[in-house]
């Protein structure tokens, strides 16, 4: 069986069914790098679902590696076992004449966090509740040794009751201790941690950095570090958070610290003027350069910000 770079044989997935007779497509929701998402309805139960249609490379072969990874990880996590992780209902083969597509059937949520932010409907209680739920979701993932690696507003789903769910596990990985590195293609630029940009070693804390960036964006209604490219992204980070010390700079990075020397740390309270002291305190623990001192999801949930 042939195999193409970035794709795996269909046999690498265990399909739940071979067609989509059980589902009625209602309309297109959006298009991403690995397929188109539709709103659909289960003909038997009437349940509305999100159907991700993933093109197969050739016939029934050539499933994108990201799709295999997403399905495998969600199944390993015990699909539907956590309220802040999106649920995968079904994996089906969509046949249309000689064309085959893979269908991933997820629970349907009305919008993502990016659209919610565009609407401007971000009350202090919604922001706090969103951060708490995301930390709960990340704590669950990290306790199962899963690093999401692509946390961003588009991958955070919001239900009508403001229940938050982490979605899109195509770039997620099981973490193995040791000197593991990320490529710079991981994590959308504005939410990328410094160690990823510097191609250093990583752990679960890359997700905490991304959450800190998302939280700050909700507070100030604009991205905190809106870099245009990788070098500009690092500059944007150091302009706010200051240039790390020589001891903190990753020894394995090919980028010399001298390139970014001389930036002083700004007062986040001046940037996020309406934020409380507890908010600033926790944000700084999320956005620290040193991965050894960056706060964990479990620890963050126990801080005063969530008890006030």
The last residue of one of the domains, among 67, 83, 107, is: 107
Contacts with 6 (C-beta within 8 Å, 6 or more apart), sequence order: 64, 65
Pair (84, 206) in one structural domain: no
Catalytic residue numbers, as ranges: 150
Range 277-292 average pLDDT? 95
3-state helix, strand, coil in the chain (%, to 5): 35, 20, 45
Q: Which residues face 88 on adjacent strands?
A: 106
| Containing structural domain, residue 72 | 7-107
Q: Is the pLDDT of residue 297 over 70?
A: yes
Q: Measure the CA dihedral 18/34/184/265, to 10°.
A: -110
Tokens of 178: 């040791």
Tokens of 189: 């630029």
Q: Domain holding 145: CATH number?
A: 1.10.510.10
Pair (79, 150) in one structural domain: no
Q: Is the pLDDT of residue 4 over 90?
A: no
- Whether 236 maps to a domain, the answer reads yes
Using CA atoms, how far apart are residues 107 and 74, in angstroms rounded to an integer? 13
- Whether 229 maps to a domain, the answer reads yes
Q: Is the pLDDT of residue 74 over 50?
A: yes
Pair (88, 237) in one structural domain: no
- Whether 25 maps to a domain, the answer reads yes
Crossing angle of helices 277-286/205-220, nearest 10°? 140
Pair (151, 273) in one structural domain: yes
- Whether 1 maps to a domain, the answer reads no
- Whether 299 maps to a domain, the answer reads yes
pLDDT at 17 (0 to 100):
56
Helix (H, G, I), strand (E, B) or coil at 142: helix
Q: Domain holding 94: CATH number?
A: 3.30.200.20
Q: Is the pLDDT of residue 160 over 70?
A: yes
As for how many domains the chain has, the answer is 2
pLDDT at 1 (0 to 100):
31
Of 27-41, 74-88, 105-119, the least confident: 27-41
- Whether 203 maps to a domain, the answer reads yes
pLDDT at 16 (0 to 100):
59
Range 18-23 average pLDDT? 70
Full-model pTM: 0.89
Range 213-217 average pLDDT? 97
CA Rg value for the chain: 20
Pair (99, 116) in one structural domain: no
Pair (54, 76) in one structural domain: yes
Of 15-19, 137-141, 244-248, give the range with the top mean pLDDT: 137-141
Pair (39, 122) in one structural domain: no
Q: Is the pLDDT of residue 298 over 50?
A: yes
pLDDT at 69 (0 to 100):
85
Which has the closest alpha carbon to 73: 177, 144, 157? 144
Range 153-179 average pLDDT? 87
Pair (251, 154) in one structural domain: yes
Q: Is the pLDDT of residue 78 over 50?
A: yes
pLDDT at 11 (0 to 100):
53
Range 234-251 average pLDDT? 93
Pair (135, 184) in one structural domain: yes
The last residue of one of the domains, among 74, 107, 140, is: 107
Question: In this predicted model, which residue has the larger pLDDT, 102 or 267?
Answer: 267
Helix (H, G, I), strand (E, B) or coil at 203: coil
Report the number of secondary-structure helices (H) and strands (E) in the chain. Answer: 9, 12
pLDDT tens-digit map of 179-203:
455 554 555 799 999 998 987 777 8
Pair (175, 267) in one structural domain: yes
Confidence of residue 177 (pLDDT cuts 50, 70, 90): low
- Whether 2 maps to a domain, the answer reads no
Pair (86, 153) in one structural domain: no
Contacts with 39 (C-beta within 8 Å, 6 or more apart), sequence order: 25, 26, 27, 28, 29, 48, 49, 50, 51, 108
The last residue of one of the domains, among 59, 82, 107, is: 107
- Whether 222 maps to a domain, the answer reads yes
Pair (83, 144) in one structural domain: no
């Amino acid at each position: 069986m042939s195999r193409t770079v970035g794709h795996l044989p269909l046999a690498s997935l265990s399909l739940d069914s071979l067609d989509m007779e059980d589902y009625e497509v209602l309309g297109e929701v959006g298009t991403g790098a690995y397929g188109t998402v539709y709103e659909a309805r289960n003909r038997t139960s009437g349940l509305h679902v999100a159907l991700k249609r993933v093109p197969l490379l050739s016939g029934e072969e050539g499933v994108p590696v990201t799709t295999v990874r997403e399905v495998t990880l969600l199944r390993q996590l015990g699909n539907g076992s956590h309220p802040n992780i999106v649920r995968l209902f079904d994996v089906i083969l969509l046949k249309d004449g000689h064309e085959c597509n893979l269908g991933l059937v997820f629970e349907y949520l009305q919008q993502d966090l990016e659209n919610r932010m565009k609407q401007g409907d971000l009350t202090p209680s919604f922001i706090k509740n969103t951060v708490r739920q995301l930390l709960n979701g990340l704590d669950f993932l990290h306790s199962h040794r899963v690093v999401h690696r692509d946390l961003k507003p588009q991958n955070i789903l919001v239900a009508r009751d403001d229940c938050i769910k982490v979605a899109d596990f195509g770039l997620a990985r099981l973490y193995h201790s040791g000197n593991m590195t990320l490529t710079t293609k991981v994590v959308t630029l504005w939410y990328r941690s410094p160690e990823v940009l510097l191609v250093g070693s990583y752990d679960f804390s890359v997700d905490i950095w991304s959450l800190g960036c998302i939280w700050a964006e909700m507070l100030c209604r604009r991205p905190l570090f809106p870099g245009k490219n990788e070098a500009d992204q690092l500059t944007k980070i150091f302009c706010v958070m200051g240039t790390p010390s020589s001891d903190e700079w990753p020894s394995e990075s090919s980028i010399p610290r001298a390139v970014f020397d001389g930036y002083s740390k700004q007062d986040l309270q001046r940037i996020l003027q309406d934020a409380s002291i507890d908010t600033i305190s926790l944000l700084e623990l999320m956005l620290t350069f040193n991965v050894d001192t960056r706060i964990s999801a479990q620890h963050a949930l126990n801080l005063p910000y969530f008890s006030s």
